[in-house]
Amino acid sequence: MRVLLWHVHGSWTTSFVQGGHEYLLPVTPDRGPDGLGRATTWDWPDSAREVPHDRLRATDVDVVVLQRPRELELAEDWLGRRPGRDVPAVYVEHNTPKGDVPWTRHLLADRADLPIAHVTHFNALFWDNGRAPVVVIEHGVVDPGELYTGELARAALAVNEPIRRGRVTGTDLLPAFAAAAPLDVFGMKVTGLERDRIAVWEDLPQAAMHRQLARRRVFVHPMRWTSLGLSLLEAMHLGMPVVVVGATEAFDAVPPEAGVVSTEVARLTDAVRRYVADPAAARLAGKAARAAALERYGLARFRSDWDRLLTEVSR
């Protein structure tokens, strides 16, 4: 099957393009947000190939995977076909609803011809999906391996654009976590967060970031309002114990033996201190985290779920 999709979320796309299809990634001369093409910091197979946006009309496409509202218009302009009507399509909803939650109505709520694939059950529950067909395909992660050493008595987190996103990503909570243990922040546009006991690692390649994360004693996930951070699931795959703000899908994704999930900041910071002070307990929780992540968020299940959905919408 030839699947057209935009490179929007690098980690999610890394898992998605591991399937057995041909993945067509629009590319524009400036490689801007609508035409990034292939990733440079993730390892993608050759079956994920770039197609210049102005050649898409002459390209056979079996199904379109949409991820942003503007892609409905882009697909129609560049393909000359309307997603869901002239060409099979599915819309992946990565995000929690915004605005007047829980009344937020999805942009596809009035369409019965274009299914919404939510990445968490929380999203499917909280969005008003109207009459759109709804399916939940939970994340799947390419297993980086059990790399955890925990040799550094430090905490780590991975987040993109924490300064711009602010309270959404729990950026205001970082000083409290840094008071519990020295904190290393990995991700895109993290420069500017540096201060006493907070260090930053700007936009490392994925494999290098995984190696560095795994050297830290504990992983912190302070996000208030994101679906379910892939960085959290990757840390669990690495074998890291996790300390997680108990919002959105977190309580359902992280079992008690894998770490601490809470809405009480003092409880979270106490957990960071405890894991940093007790490497044996940290390693034991990390092993439980890895086992849970492999069972629920493995790549094989993710691929199977997507194969089933793509086949259904293409009939």
Domain 2-140+299-314 is of which CATH architecture?
A: 3-Layer(aba) Sandwich (3.40)
Q: pLDDT by residue (tens digit) across 222-262? A: 999 999 999 999 999 999 999 999 999 999 999 999 999 99
**Rounded distance, CA 212 to CA 240, Å?**
12
pLDDT computed for residue 39 by the predictor: 87
> In terms of C-beta distances under 8 Å and separation of at least 24 residues, what long-range contacts does 6-10 make, across chains too?
6/34, 6/36, 6/66, 6/67, 6/68, 6/71, 6/74, 7/36, 7/37, 7/38, 7/39, 8/33, 8/67, 8/68, 8/94, 9/67, 9/94, 9/230, 10/39, 10/41, 10/42, 10/206
Question: Cis (ω within 30 of 0) for the bond into 102?
Answer: yes
Report the range of poorest mean pLDDT among 33-47, 93-107, 167-181, 190-204.
Answer: 33-47
**Rounded distance, CA 142 to CA 280, Å?**
27
Read off the amino acid at residue 183: L
pLDDT computed for residue 61 by the predictor: 97
Q: Is the pLDDT of residue 215 over 90?
A: yes
**Rounded distance, CA 297 to CA 314, Å?**
25
Domain ranges of the chain: 2-140+299-314, 152-296
Task: Provide the mean pLDDT of the chain.
Answer: 96
Q: Is the pLDDT of residue 41 over 90?
A: no
**Domains 2-140+299-314 and 152-296 belong to one CATH topology:** yes
Res. 201 pLDDT band, cuts 50 70 90: very high
Res. 42 pLDDT band, cuts 50 70 90: confident
Q: Tokens standing for 120?
A: 């968490």
Q: Which residues contact 72 (CB under 8 A, 6 or more apart)?
A: 66, 83
Fold assignment, 152-296? Rossmann fold (3.40.50)
Q: Is the pLDDT of residue 43 over 90?
A: no
At CA 213, angle to CA 280 and CA 265, rounded to 5? 70
Q: Tokens standing for 142?
A: 């390419």
At CA 294, angle to CA 290 and CA 300, rounded to 5? 160
Read off the amino acid at residue 146: E
Percent of the chain with pLDDT over 70: 100
